[in-house]
Chains A and B, each alone.
Chain A
Amino acid sequence: MTPLLKVENVSKYYGNRLGCRDVSFELYPGEVLGIVGESGSGKSTLLNCLAGHLEPDTGEVVFDTRANGPKDTVTMSEPERRMLSRTDWAFVHQNPRDGLRMSVSAGGNVGERLMAVGARHYGNIRSTAIDWLDKVEINEDRTDDRPSEFSGGMQQRLQIARNLVTGPRLIFMDEPTGGLDVSVQARLLDLLRGLVRELGLSAIVVTHDLAVVRLLADRLMVMKDGHVIETGLTDQVLDDPQHGYTQLLVSSVLQV
């Protein structure tokens, strides 16, 4: 089986400061990879390098494209990369405001992604949008409301619908449940798990919440000071951590 994403020796510096260094891994179709670490550990930098938002200083990010097989997204042309991020990729931001157009209706937010890949029939776009709003449990009668009138949890679910409507194969998530009530968080986790299973999506989830990765991720990568210090099966890394920092991280979690 060809990996969907193959990352080799990706490094990113901000001037003299280290963002992340020598990160390599493979992600296979249907896999969910969690990246944990404290703030400043380089996990968001890495995610942005993978998703084409930042250009890594060194390294390759090879994505298995539908048309042409594995291609390095770092060296591909800007239009090609933009096409990928509109079709095969999705990016769920921590703050829904970064991923939504706040002054366009909920239905319009979902429809825009469809139009970006060529859909033109208004009726079809609207019905697909309503279908997806239903999948993320947003009532049809809110289709014409603006996301600025939505609660934080609804905005986050709308962002997920907007991202998934074009049937991406890889979804990048930056703290997808950060800043949400635990009750909303649980519903979102269940939604994401169901979508991953039913649509066979692969996902890379950056978070600092160990409970979230335990429920969502198959594999885990632990970062500290820009380096990957430990990788493995999620439950194995959490239950039998090998690196001192991971042991500290796991033993510092508060029990409810």
Chain B
Amino acid sequence: MINIKNVSKNFTLHNQNSVEIPVMENANLTVKPGECVGLTGASGAGKSTLMRMVYGNYLTQAGRIMVGDLDIVTALPRQILELRRETLGYVSQFLRVVPRVPTLDVVSEPMLAVGVSRDAAHERARELLTKLRIPERLWQLSPLTFSGGEQQRVNIARGFAHEYPAMLLDEPTASLDVANRETVLSLIEDAKARGAAIIGIFHDEAARARVCDREIDVSTYTPKVV
């Protein structure tokens, strides 16, 4: 489902004497449907960078990143948008939403975008929010007023609202208590069971051991600084 081949990336900082910082060299990775691959490596090794490259959030200088039939590296913006709407989900560590929009609508949005009816979308949003222990009295409020852990869980609810065939999870269990961590892990297991291909970053080793079928150490792709 996801196939990363000989991928390289560098950042050029034009306003700082055009310094070139190579961050990724010849990365390779394949994820099959129903499989979860964990990215490991020290902080700064490029785990999130690789994930963002797969999502099309960062440009890739060389190589090929296939998600389904689409090569992200050469795809047109509107092809990537369609892919993100239908096929590829991404749960980041940060919640980014229009201020003052109720939580229920924030969670429903990805489903409305693929044409699910408003009632059905709200129904599923309620189910997810309940599962993730967001108290019902908060549903009509904007998540921007919530605590860090609550925002994180709203973000997860939003990320799992539509059943994407491929998913990228950037520390979905960070800063969660035991019960919520358990819920998130079971959501991931459900997604795998329905055939989703998942790339995840987990700092929590027990969580990684439980949901990941394989691990890839990203630091092997970090260019050696001379």
Contacts and interface: CB of A to CB of B under 8 A. Distances in A.
Interface of A: 28, 31, 182-183, 186-187, 189-190, 193, 197, 214-215, 218-219, 231-233, 235-236, 239-240, 242-244, 247-248, 251
A247 B14 contact: yes
30 contacts: A28-B78, A182-B99, A183-B100, A186-B98, A186-B99, A186-B100, A190-B98, A197-B113, A214-B96, A215-B98, A218-B77, A218-B81, A219-B77, A231-B77, A232-B59, A232-B77, A233-B77, A233-B80, A233-B81, A235-B57, A236-B58, A239-B58, A240-B57, A242-B12, A242-B59, A244-B15, A247-B14, A247-B15, A248-B14, A248-B15
Nearest to B99: A186
A251 to B, nearest CB: 7
Interface string B1-40: 0000000000111110000000000000000000000000
A240 B59 CA distance: 7
Contacts of B113: 197
B13 A190 contact: no
A236 B57 contact: yes
Interface residues of B, number: 21
Given A186-B99, A219-B77, A197 B112 contact: yes
Interface string B132-153: 0000000000000000000000
A239 B57 contact: yes
A205 to B, nearest CB: 14
Interface in B86-103: 96, 98-101
Interface of B: 11-15, 52, 56-59, 77-78, 80-81, 96, 98-101, 112-113
A248 B13 CA distance: 10
B15 A251 contact: yes
A190 B14 contact: no
A219 B12 CA distance: 22
A18 B140 CA distance: 50
Contacts of B11: 240
Contacts of A190: 98, 100-101
Contacts of A243: 14
A239 B52 contact: yes
B109 to A, nearest CB: 8
* Residue in A182, A190, A251 with the greatest tally of chain B CB atoms within 10 Å: A190
Shortest 5 CB-CB contacts between residues of A and residues of B? A244-B14, A186-B99, A240-B58, A233-B77, A186-B100
* Residue in B12, B14, B52 with the greatest tally of chain A CB atoms within 10 Å: B14
A163 B38 CA distance: 50
Contacts of A183: 100
Contacts of B13: 247
Contact of A236 (B14, B56, B96, B101): B56
A232 B80 CA distance: 11
Given A28-B78, A219-B77, A247-B13, A233 B56 contact: yes
Nearest to A243: B14
A116 B20 CA distance: 57
Contacts of B101: 190
A240 B57 CA distance: 7
Nearest to A27: B78
A204 to B, nearest CB: 14
A163 B142 CA distance: 29
B95 to A, nearest CB: 13
A248 to B, nearest CB: 5
A231 B56 CA distance: 14
Contact of A31 (B14, B52, B78, B80): B78
Contacts of B59: 232, 236, 240, 242
A187 B98 CA distance: 8
A70 B204 CA distance: 55
A66 B52 CA distance: 39
